[in-house]
Amino acid sequence: MAQAASDPGAPAELDSPVSAQAVAAIEAAETGKRKSDERCEPEASGQGKRRRGAGGKKLRPGERYIPPPQKRNPGVSFSQEHYAETSYYFEGGLRKVRPYYFDFKTYCKGRWIGKSLLEVFDSEFRAESVEYYQRAAKEGRIRLNESPVEDLSVVLRNNDHLRNTVHRHEPPVVGRPLEVLVDDGEVLVVDKPASIPVHPCGRFRHNTVIFILGKERGFSELHTVHRLDRLTSGVLLFARTLETSKKLDKLVRDRQLEKEYVCRVEGEFPEGEVICEEPILVVSFKIGICRVDPKGKECRTVFQRLSFNGKTSVVRCLPLTGRTHQIRVHLQYLGFPILHDPIYGSSAWGPHRGKGGVMGKSNEELLQALVEEHRSQESLHLLDIPDDGIGQEKNKKMDKSDSPSEPDQSGESHETQATTGCSSTGATIHEESQSFTDSNSNSTSLQESQSHIPIESNGNQTEATDCAKKSPPGTRDHLCSECKLDRADPTEKELIMYLHALRYKGPDFEYSTHLPDWGKEDWVEAE
């Protein structure tokens, strides 16, 4: 189980949208077809000579040598080398990451074979202009089979290995420290602040729970038990050993792990116990959006109001199944969306915002409406989607290995950031193969990722008149578009959704955190 998530040859076990694991599985499937490609037609200049390591095969005139794929080592964890890529600094109550250079790597996707690099950049990596990629190539930042590519007209073949060096900017997160609740050698339990993703995914790498624990606390070889949404806070469990991981994973599968959440919702929630058993269907695996639908999977959540302050209610939530976004979707259906929920509290669902499952539009229209609403409010980044995610999802035919697997049974487990290069339940956190990407997306391929924030549509940004105030000294790059922007820091509303994992209980253990400030009976949101 521990190696399955990081082994590109193993099937993905993700709970919802396609992430780095699914990308790795796609790459593994593509790189499995080796023999047939030895007979590819020539397409670039070269000498008809034997190459060492080419299996003694004589290259025909004009044929480009393509080395065999390297066997990946599934046992490589994040190390000090990865942590040393950059450093943190704190400003205005936020944890920030100094921009840094990073190599995205991938083998040629099946749909890229026969296309030129220029065509691939133009059709799939549109956050930057073709001119940018041409400049990047001339500076040696784009490499094909470890050789710099200056001419983007080169045609891609199966087994081609691409490397793209980018200047990476990560979004800031809440600066509150990660509190370790339990560390007994078998489990590590932390109180996760809102806004921090669990694993490297999308635009996040160093500003993630895994990297912070590794860099600041020295924790490594952690096995995930469950996940929390990026905007959700609370109890987060990791297993320290493979044996403990398997034990906890079985408890999750057998639904013996009791989960208690607390949230603050809009309006006066009914008194007494409220049970919602509406089935939940995934509307978009790519973006990670769900809804109540008769064709969905069985689902059950128990709610109980704890307090009401005249405007909003604090509600206790017991998810008895573990569907993606289960608590959020059921509360939306009941007509009480969670405060600051950028998806299920959106007016894009219609005048009643999805109450009773009524939205009056198709799934495609819903997705488009969500994008347009957040774009108009300059808050598209809250959806954690690529710029052209909707159109691409509609137009792209999924490869067999693209198909997402069943959700896990951990309740609020889906990382919409990206969701998702997040490891699956019970998986050891390893360095995963990163997919080739554009210079500013800091995510996997726009087709496989759901977390790219395009510079032209992210809110609250202007062209920086003094670029030094955008990036700390020594971190600027002359090709980087992000370095030329001056982004306003995110607000609390953008960083914190009022949903908190309060308690996780098993047959012989119980882990809990204190109630967040917004969960107190007399709390009133500041205007």
Active-site residue numbers? 229
In whole angstroms, give the CA distance from residue 278 to residue 326: 10
Picking from 303, 299, 230, the residue whose alpha carbon sits closest to that of residue 265 is 303
Token pair for residue 389?
A: 């995610």
Single-letter residue type at 270: P
391 sits in which H/E element: helix 389-395
Burial of 186 (0-12, 13-18, 19+ CB in 10 A): middle
In whole angstroms, give the CA distance from residue 429 to residue 219: 11
Token pair for residue 388?
A: 């052209």
Residue ranges in 446-525 assigned as alpha helix (H): 492-495
Which neighbouring-strand residues pair with 505? Answer: 258, 510
Q: 263: Cβ–Cβ under 8 A, 6 or more apart, which residues? A: 314, 315, 317, 327, 331, 338, 339, 498, 499, 500
Q: How many other CB atoms are there within 10 angstroms of residue 496's CB atom?
A: 21
Token pair for residue 330?
A: 């059921």
333 sits in which H/E element: helix 326-334
Calculate the alpha carbon distances from 330 to 132, 280, 415, 453 in Å.
45, 9, 18, 28
Cβ atoms 152, 133 nearer than 8 A:
yes
Three-state SS letters, 250-315: HHHHCCCCEEEEEEEEECCCCCCEEEECCCEEEEECCCCEEEECCCCECCCEEEEEEEECCCEEEE
Q: Ramachandran region of residue 508, left (φ > 0), alpha (ψ -120 to 50) or beta?
A: alpha
In whole angstroms, give the CA distance from residue 42 to residue 59: 9
User: Three-state DSSP class for 509?
Assistant: strand
Cβ atoms 263, 501 nearer than 8 A:
no
Question: Strands 233-239 and 499-506: what pairing?
Answer: parallel
For the chain, what is the largest distance between any 2 Cα atoms, rounded to a whole number of angstroms? 80
In whole angstroms, give the CA distance from residue 475 to residue 168: 10
